[in-house]
Amino acid sequence: MEGEMEQIQQQQSGGMRSTVLFGKYEMGRLLGKGTFAKVYYGKHVRSGESVAIKVISKDQVNKEGLMEQIKREISVMRLVRHPNIVELKEVMATKGKIFFVMEYVRGGELFAKVAKGKLKEDLARKYFQQLISAVDFCHSRGVFHRDLKPENLLVDENGDLKISDFGLSALPEQLRNDGLLHTQCGTPAYVAPEVLRKKGYDGSKADIWSCGVILFVLLAGFLPFQDENLMKMYRKVFKAEYEFPPWFSSEAKRLISKLLVADPDRRITIPAIMRAPWFKKGFTRPIAFSIEEPSPEKAEEEDLKTEVQSKSSSPTFLNAFEFISSMSSGFDLSSLFESKKKAGSMFTSKSSASAIMAKLEQVAKGLSFKVVKMKEFKMRMQGAVEGRKGKLSVTAEVFEVAPEVAVVEFSKSAGDTLEYSKFCDEEVRPALKDIVWTWQGDNNGNDNASRSGSQIDRSIPEQSIPEQSDLVMLIRLVAS
């Protein structure tokens, strides 16, 4: 407890006692609480910026076996930076608690506005446009929210919508072999029929159904599917059985009729939603897309700057802590919020840095990727094919962690995140198997070793590479 109290200090100011977290954030009034967490108003000590601080009890989370859900929420919120999504600014931890420092949204829940009655159509349209823009952004990164409802939608001081609470969200790695999600979650009144059937579902299509229910609620002031008997309500959901109030416009009814379709394969898609006449009125796509997804040309400019600033004849040395943090697929607090760090893949190799670079160049050219050398042990691979968000651009860099061990890190410089993940899994991994010792997240060495059941090569002394258990121990003592 002594170490924990060092991070959570009490300060006396003007006759009032206040709690200062990690010497950075002053914690104020309680904003709300749930089963495992409390949310407080906070303020950055130096800048005065208002924040919301979510305090999570590790004991309660561990008792319920929800630590993986907390880790997933962090991973998801790291991926989805968008004007209409609540920003996770920082994660901190003590032995007993985890702290999420988040953007403070002053306007409160959208639910509070709807509880007073239906919204005017233009205002409902604005919120729905912002909701769909944010959901589309999430889906482009392989993130499915799975609990969209007015209680999880906030409104800021400018009247703009913000999606919050990604605790039930899903990532691509949760898909089973059939390519579907199978965990039933969400709030019954907003959940898609295929989720209730427990037979597997497409997370993006389930989110679209929830958006349809939300739009109905905004315009009507009440739910499309409601009954005191839960089973009767489910039957209405399964049949998509609802009635429009008389004040709905014909264009709004036409769009909702395409959103609330029981068969997910016949349900409208987000591109089609954005083409709908009702949706298009006054719609402007948020500028964050261009900020989050730099063009290949912009990436090339940054590469040239890097080349001028840093020329080295040997690979960068990665210290043990950085290596443990980077190679763990667990609770990586050290690099969660580096603004320029992209989603990446890493592997260790016993080949020399020069041999690795030569192999990378050979593989890139074999895949028809243009190679741009940024410095001796760093390169950018530029795709030729136009994808969902332009041409894919991937950076690869070699780091030395021991005299006989190197780490290779890939990161996306431009293009779509899902296309990048597919590129790494289906193209890069098979092509590099002869120089890979182990991939990040693989527990049994490289793919060949795990398929044949053979032991990991121990020709390099065990001390050369920090064991994963070192990180696990660190997490248990401090953050997990």
Rounded to the nearest 10°, the torsion over CA 182, 186, 190, 192 is 0
Which one is catalytic: 59, 122, 136, 147? 147
Confidence at residue 403, expressed as pLDDT on a 0 to 100 scale: 59
Task: Show the domains of the chain with their CATH numbers.
Answer: 2-103 (3.30.200.20), 110-290 (1.10.510.10), 293-479 (3.30.310.80)
Q: Is 147 a catalytic residue?
A: yes
Q: Enumerate the known binding-site residues for ATP.
A: 54
Confidence at residue 63, expressed as pLDDT on a 0 to 100 scale: 84
Confidence at residue 449, expressed as pLDDT on a 0 to 100 scale: 38
Take residue 451 and report the two structure tokens written for it. 């398929």
Cα–chain center distance at 348? 25
DSSP 339-359: TTPPPEEEEEESS-HHHHHHH
Distance (Å, rounded) from C-alpha 112 to C-alpha 167?
A: 21
Q: Enumerate the known binding-site residues.
A: 54
Confidence at residue 252, expressed as pLDDT on a 0 to 100 scale: 97
Distance (Å, rounded) from C-alpha 127 to C-alpha 118?
A: 13
Confidence at residue 215, expressed as pLDDT on a 0 to 100 scale: 97
| Local mean pLDDT, 10-residue blocks, the chain (480 residues) | 52 58 90 82 94 90 81 78 90 88 89 91 97 91 84 92 71 40 58 84 90 96 89 91 96 98 95 96 70 44 43 49 40 37 65 88 90 84 83 85 74 82 86 82 44 35 36 36
How many other C-beta atoms lie within 10 A of the C-beta of residue 469?
A: 9
Confidence at residue 79, expressed as pLDDT on a 0 to 100 scale: 77
**Nearest alpha-carbon partner for 414 in 322, 295, 327, 244:** 295
Entry pTM: 0.59
**Nearest alpha-carbon partner for 21 in 36, 13, 41, 31:** 41
Confidence at residue 33, expressed as pLDDT on a 0 to 100 scale: 78
Confidence at residue 41, expressed as pLDDT on a 0 to 100 scale: 94
Distance (Å, rounded) from C-alpha 102 to C-alpha 306?
A: 32
Confidence at residue 11, expressed as pLDDT on a 0 to 100 scale: 52
DSSP helix/strand/coil, 424: helix
Confidence at residue 9, expressed as pLDDT on a 0 to 100 scale: 57
26, 47 contact by CB (below 8 A): no
Confidence at residue 250, expressed as pLDDT on a 0 to 100 scale: 97
Distance (Å, rounded) from C-alpha 229 to C-alpha 232?
A: 5
